[in-house]
Amino acid sequence: MSKPCQCSIIGTGSYMPSKVLTNDDLSKMVETSDEWITTRTGIKERRIAADDETTSDMATAAAKQALEAAGVKPEELDLIVVATVTPDMFFPSTACLVQSKLGAKNAIGFDISAACSGFLYALQAARHFLNGGPRMTALVIGAEKLSSLINWKDRNTCVLFGDGAGAVVVRRDDRKTAPGRVLSTVMGSDGTLADLLKVPGGGSACPITAENVALRPNTIYMEGRETFKHAVTRMYQASLDALEQAGVKAEDVKLVIPHQANARIISAIAERLNVPPERTFINVDKYGNTSAATIPVALDEAQRSGRLKSGDILLLVAFGGGFTWASSVVAW
């Protein structure tokens, strides 16, 4: 468990590519159906980035919105953290590419790889940087081009994922009543279960070669049923821990903003927490699982649609490959 520190989210933004891929489109590509995908996952469609649209392009578009909402200029940024498992390239980091595209010349930047928990990991990393001083203002982004990791012949995975980006501007603020303040964050990892959800190839353990390229090792492999069980257990416990650390009860939560992987996972967690569906944010139907992007995109949509009121208690919770999990309580 980590110590709470004084940081506030002062602006949000998001970007989703315009191309829509529906369940019916997918049923023409693999043996699946709208009925199967909807019943098992709640997903109806997802967004797919253009061939020449990179993770850093989407991250930059989301960041510009967040900066505008916060009233912060790029050169005021001290830190950029990008959570992604689909960086433009191994290096330089996507954060450095975003820094250049924004003209955020005073910021340092680095990426975080924690799959679907990446945004909350990045938020916590930013909080620690800001609280360690002297940096004041950070941009935290979750951005993914998961379509670049999908085996479009594997129906077990290709129906689940999509592309997009969400961003928040975070500022150190010692006021106890500052809007958007992060009250608590808990995080966990279990690398012994790494094999249940991974992209096995393309890294140093298994470089892509002429001999193995046909096996598509550079695409997502997931044991869905096992992942599902761990996701529910870990997200529920992380939520309880984050609430306890923040000194908040589940009934005081105005909106749960969970990682959007599967509507059944989300309702299982909400049921266990005894939070009614109207206090649970869902947009997995529109975007599928965009990994590190789901929570900042959902937060931005909730904010822009007027669903968040000043002082609302929000519970953010995520689970992803690694395995990794995290939860944060935010007072809006």
Span from 34-42, 101-109, 243-251, 306-314 in contact with ligand ACO (CB under 6 A): 34-42
Q: How far is the CB of 69 from ligand ACO (least distance, A)?
A: 27
CA distance 220 to 197: 7
User: Is residue 261 within the footprint of ligand ACO (CB under 6 A)?
Assistant: yes
Question: Residue from 86, 93, 227, 239 that binds ligand ACO (CB under 6 A)?
Answer: 227
Structure tokens at 84: 């992604």
CA distance 230 to 197: 11
CA distance 116 to 112: 11
Q: How many C-beta atoms lie closer than 10 Å to residue 8's C-beta?
A: 22
User: Is residue 110 within the footprint of ligand ACO (CB under 6 A)?
Assistant: no
Span from 32-40, 47-55, 104-112, 131-139 in contact with ligand ACO (CB under 6 A): 32-40
In a 3-state reduction of DSSP, which class is residue 149? helix
Q: How far is the CB of 38 from ligand ACO (least distance, A)?
A: 11
Residue type, 204: S
**How many binding residues for ligand ACO (CB under 6 A)?**
24
| Residue 143: HSE in the Cβ half-sphere, 13 Å Cα cutoff | 34
Q: Which of 116, 158, 218, 262 is catalytic?
A: 116
| Residue 217: HSE in the Cβ half-sphere, 13 Å Cα cutoff | 14
User: Is residue 40 within the footprint of ligand ACO (CB under 6 A)?
Assistant: yes
Instruction: Let me know if 4 is exposed, middle or buried by CB neighbors in 10 A (0-12, 13-18, 19+).
Output: middle
CA distance 237 to 187: 11
Sheet with strand 163-172: strands edge to edge: 108-112, 79-83, 137-145, 163-172, 7-15, 181-189, 324-331, 313-320, 255-258
In a 3-state reduction of DSSP, which class is residue 104? coil
Question: Residue from 60, 262, 280, 294 that binds ligand ACO (CB under 6 A)?
Answer: 262
Question: Residue from 141, 231, 270, 314 that binds ligand ACO (CB under 6 A)?
Answer: 231
Residue type, 241: D
Question: Please, which residue, 265 or 308, has the CB nearer to ligand ACO?
Answer: 265
Q: How far is the CB of 43 from ligand ACO (least distance, A)?
A: 9
User: Is residue 115 within the footprint of ligand ACO (CB under 6 A)?
Assistant: yes
Each residue 127-166 as x (binds ligand ACO by CB under 6 A) or -, in order, gives ----------------------------xx--x-------
Q: Which of 23, 96, 158, 259 is catalytic?
A: 259
> What are the residues whose beta carbons fall under 8 Å from the beta carbon of 133, sequence distance 6 or more?
172
Q: Which residue is nearest to ligand ACO, using beta carbons?
A: 224
Query: Which DSSP state fits 161?
Result: B
Instruction: Let me know if 105 is exposed, middle or buried by CB neighbors in 10 A (0-12, 13-18, 19+).
Output: exposed
Q: How far is the CB of 13 from ligand ACO (least distance, A)?
A: 22
Each residue 280-309 as x (binds ligand ACO by CB under 6 A) or -, in order, gives ---------x-x------------------
Q: How far is the CB of 294 from ligand ACO (least distance, A)?
A: 9
* H helical segments located in the chain: 23-27, 34-41, 55-70, 94-102, 118-132, 155-158, 224-246, 263-273, 284-287, 294-304
Question: Please, which residue, 129 or 323, has the CB nearer to ligand ACO?
Answer: 323
Span from 61-69, 172-180, 237-245, 318-326 in contact with ligand ACO (CB under 6 A): 318-326
**128 tagged catalytic:** no
Mind telling me the catalytic residues?
116, 259, 289
Q: Which residues bind ligand ACO (CB under 6 A)?
A: 32, 36-37, 40-41, 115-116, 155-156, 159, 197, 224-225, 227-228, 231, 261-262, 265, 289, 291, 319-321
